[in-house]
Chain A
């Protein structure tokens, strides 16, 4: 988190937060100037590096193409071309690919959540005798680089076991492998491990079977970790390029991440930048809306004596 220099000083003067630098130190001109300017530089630098490209993209999305080409680094556009956005949405069919991306992302998210929570529940709440062996196997798969699995996974998608039908050009080709994430399972089962077992026991005595225990007790208590996994899952699937490119050959089914590079050469620069801006917007807005609930601490207050 970035802390504004003057805010830190105000808080310290109240005695609320004691930083590394004491109020007495802050009163010395050298410290005040040195630290203050370092913090300001750091802040400005972070804004330029982190926010700069996004702001530039936002500006260029509504700038006439000519203007972007002649003055690419101008702070303000000469004239506004809102038509870039509407042309990107309608003519380049960004709306269509946008929808594809949403379908792919939601499907991948759902498959990851279902697999990770049910596996985590089985391994760390139901705890069959062989759970530790399965956990060990899961952990070993984390050591295999994803790129190594690309070819075997592709072969499996072309000739899936049990199903006599290739998944190429079907969204299942993305949704199913997305679910097989050992990382999510490990993350969620570690979280489940730390939930108080007395609550599960109380629920069993109250009359919960395993399924009810899962849906009524374990899942509602796991909102923080579900938020984390959801953010990872949605972001990863939104920006994934290589795998959708391999398994979705039909342009009508491809997501934005695959379509945008292909349409670049045939599209006017201003319209293309508008299309890119639209594709960035969803993850950014989504994160801004949900960051609070996702990053909030676990909701276990008062459940057990602690």
Chain B
């Protein structure tokens, strides 16, 4: 268990591309940190720099207070879980789990005990003598996780470990990873492009875009106090609607107003809220609520309404949003200027 620090870390490729730009960030001991962002945002590159698979172009990475820029992957005491498992195909599950321990010259008894413990924790005991090709996708991913936990490393690095699993298995494995991480209390960096994974798993989330860290905070902070338009629209599903302020009578010229789907109410505005009239384009019935797609001028909005709301596609209705739930952004820079327009 160790803290991981990025001190002004950049990755510049030979063609001048800055995959990661001046990343400044500390991940506390035992913390579960999620790097999230669209593809090409530099999150995987940042992770690979921690693992030692990519060189650091500028700045320093510290693991447990020790600068690791020039230390080879095997001496960094980290374990990585890859998106496509990366199991050793010619070894059995037991050999896959034991390989890293053998290289570290642990005693046979110690290796045996750790492999057994990991297999028990991951429900792999019946498959120890099988080769990876005889396992299902979920089992393979559990072997990959097992290979990381037997090492008892200072940190886990996970690179989209769930994206090759089907939806149901993903939700299940997500919970297993969380339980495991809480029990072992090992510092973890988890990379994903899926904001739902990020929100449900992370103690804190770092949102990245084009190599630049946009915001870092707890899931709740990111959701309620997004730092800019990108974070506001990236986090949350369906995403936050952002419209020019004057369109709904909030803020002035050059200001954008953002509000989440669940903050839109059906009906005329009352005190402490603003109202607008919009065309209902599509109504999606989800069982416990309705997603209503609206058109306000050129803007497409989404509202989350209770099932009881009487809405019909093709009609125009009045909607209202409480001022306190509106986030104002500067339209030029995209930065948030106020959380709650009241």
Interface residues in chain A, defined as those with a beta carbon under 8 Å from any beta carbon in chain B? 196, 198-199, 201-209, 212, 216-217, 220-221, 223, 299-306
Contact = CB atoms under 8 A, between A and B. Distances in A.
A206 B89 contact: no
Given A201-B86, A205-B79, A301 B164 contact: no
Interface string B77-106: 011101111111110000000011001100
Contact of A212 (B88, B90, B103, B140): B103
A207 B85 contact: no
Interface in B254-279: none
Given A201-B53, A302-B87, 15 more contacts: A198-B86, A199-B87, A201-B51, A201-B86, A202-B86, A202-B147, A205-B52, A206-B100, A207-B103, A299-B89, A302-B132, A302-B133, A302-B134, A304-B87, A305-B137
A306 B89 CA distance: 13
Interface string B133-154: 1110100100000010001000
A305 B160 CA distance: 13
Contact of A221 (B78, B90, B131): B90
Interface in B42-97: 51-53, 72-74, 76, 78-80, 82-90
A205 B74 contact: yes
Given A202-B82, A206-B99, A206-B100, A302 B74 contact: no
A302 B131 contact: yes
* CB-based closest 6 A-B pairs: A301-B133, A302-B133, A302-B132, A303-B89, A207-B103, A206-B100
Nearest to B91: A220
15 contacts: A196-B84, A201-B51, A202-B80, A204-B52, A205-B53, A205-B80, A206-B99, A208-B74, A209-B74, A212-B103, A216-B99, A300-B89, A301-B133, A303-B88, A303-B133
Contact of B85 (A216, A217, A305): A305
A28 B100 CA distance: 64
B91 to A, nearest CB: 8
Nearest to A212: B103
Given A201-B53, A202-B80, A305-B137, A207 B104 contact: yes
Contacts of B73: 201, 204-205
Interface residues of B, number: 33
Contacts of A301: 89, 131-133
Contacts of A198: 82-84, 86
Nearest to B79: A205
A124 B237 CA distance: 44
A206 B84 contact: no
A44 B88 CA distance: 46
Contacts of B164: 305
Contacts of B72: 204
A304 B85 contact: yes
Contacts of B83: 198, 305
Contacts of B131: 301-302
Contacts of A217: 88
A203 B88 CA distance: 8
Nearest to B130: A302
Given A302-B140, A305-B137, A196 B103 contact: no
A198 B99 CA distance: 16
A146 to B, nearest CB: 35
Nearest to B75: A207
A196 B86 CA distance: 8
Nearest to A216: B99
Contacts of A300: 89
A304 B86 contact: yes
Contact of B84 (A204, A212, A223, A305): A305
B74 A204 contact: yes
A203 B151 CA distance: 13
A304 B80 CA distance: 15
A205 B100 CA distance: 8
